[in-house]
Amino acid sequence: MGKCLETFNGYVWGLPLMALLVGTGLYLTFRLLFVQLRGFTHGIKVLRGNYDDVRDPGEITHFQALTTALSATIGTGNIVGVAAAILMGGPGAVFWMWITALVGMATKFTSCSLAVHFRRIDENGEAHGGPMHFIEIGMGAKFKWLAVLFAFFAIMASFGSGNMFQINNVVVSLNELIRGSSEPNLLFNIIVGFIIAILVGLVIIGGIKSVGRVASKIVPFMCIFYVIGGIIILGIHYSAVPSGLYTIFYYAFHAPESIAGGILGSVIRSGVSRGLFSNEAGLGSAAIAHGAARTKEPIREGLVAMLGPFIDTICICSMTALVIIVTGAHEVCHVKGELTGMAFSMGIGNNIGAKFVAASIIFFAFSTLISWSYYGDRAADYLFGKKAVHLYRISYLGFILLGATVKIDPIINFCDSMNGLMAAPNLIALTVLSPVVASLAKDYFRRMKSPKERVVSLGLDAPAN
């Protein structure tokens, strides 16, 4: 999701947090025997609906769960954040972004498998899943304080980087598209904020089923829209693509002199930061959406969930990075908020390129607004009960109006800190409960190797002996 990336690097705990996130991902990668590789194709089959059963508990399909999670992670950071990573760490940062995404796939697999395994389905069929639930249920009631901390940080992050930062980017982009100016206009911003608040309200009032339906339509469209634009530019500059890829791999291990005095650590740190916070692997937020999936097999949802970092970082972020590098925009522009727009303008023409990026930001930000409202209302439900959900949703819409009309840098810095702090309770739980996931995964893959078990798992009658 779109964030102020440098916020995390600006705090003392920024580097320790990154080390903890990557270290946990590496541990889970080995603990689960490289599940992101051996389970990749099976995850695609699950996503396609090969194992769907309407009789299974849950509220949304595997596809809707993934697109809901993706709509929260694919935000303006995929456009602005990648530009920031390249400016801070050079082209080589992209390589470390890829590595972090691959490791993060194991982290997301673990958290989302736990979200289904330890979820609660209430009398109305409503799913209650996510880190706050698998912390309390999986680790025991004595660790409820840790679950409470996660839920509190989730609510704070939903108002900040999931809401105000997103609407602020929508307002800026619409000012450029409609008014032809990046200078704010209070009346225009109020109107935009009011309209977006109404649109978001119409979606979130129906809960996860409504959010899932909308996300399943918006996310594929916006991803295809953005990727096609990138492919067109790469096609026009096809001769520069091989050298662009070489540049990424070369500078992954050789820091440019222009980047932090040529310190390789800046390259790695920038790539790791962008990879971690673009796909949110380790923060635990996506597990809330995947916890509502309609399935009786936790591992299946984990396999679907781990496709998220691949799509978000390996596909979407890489498209942004390659466009910036092959056009050479990073060599002439040093403002992160303008770099991607300049790259697309250099690639397909000034007017078209700038408007394309602005339109993409609007799509990405709007989708993030929708999904983060669900994360926040699930956290509010956990802390205060169902009666608090309605009040939370009204407050969330109010923050949209606020974010559209005020300067939010100090607020975003605080709320992004809350977003980062979500990781601590989640990572502790993932490490403690990893043996549970390893056992579930071993049993699931064993059963999937048996033709009889595969048929039973599809909800069909077993073949006669």
Read out DSSP for 28-91? HHHHTTSHHHHTHHHHHHHHTTTT--TTSSSSB-HHHHHHHHHHHHSSGGGTHHHHHHHHHH-T
* Model confidence band, residue 257 (pLDDT cutoffs 50, 70, 90): low
What is the reported pTM? 0.91
Helices and strands (H and E) in the chain: how many = 24, 2
* pLDDT tens readout for residues 328-344: 998 888 877 788 889 99
Residue 89, pLDDT score: 87
* pLDDT tens readout for residues 34-72: 999 999 999 999 999 999 888 999 999 999 999 999 998
Using the 8-state DSSP alphabet, how is residue 239 labeled? G
Residue 452, pLDDT score: 60
CB 415, CB 117: distance < 8 Å: no
More confident residue, 417 or 111: 111
**How far does Cα 105 stand from its chain's mean position?**
12
Other CB atoms within 10 A of residue 221 CB: 12
DSSP 3-state of 333? coil
Residue identified by tokens 């689960």 is: 32
Residue 240, pLDDT score: 94
- 127-131, 182-186, 403-407, 438-442 — which is least confidently predicted? 182-186
* Mean per-residue pLDDT, 268-272: 79
Give exposure, 9-42, as e/b (b: 16+ Cβ within 10 Å): beeeebeebbebbbebbebbbebbeebbeebeeb
Residue 445, pLDDT score: 95
Residue 228, pLDDT score: 93
* Model confidence band, residue 8 (pLDDT cutoffs 50, 70, 90): very low
Asked if residue 410 has pLDDT above 80, the reply is no
* pLDDT tens readout for residues 354-391: 888 888 888 889 999 999 999 999 999 999 999 999 99
Give exposure, 357-367, as e/b (b: 16+ Cβ within 10 Å): bbbbbbbbbbb
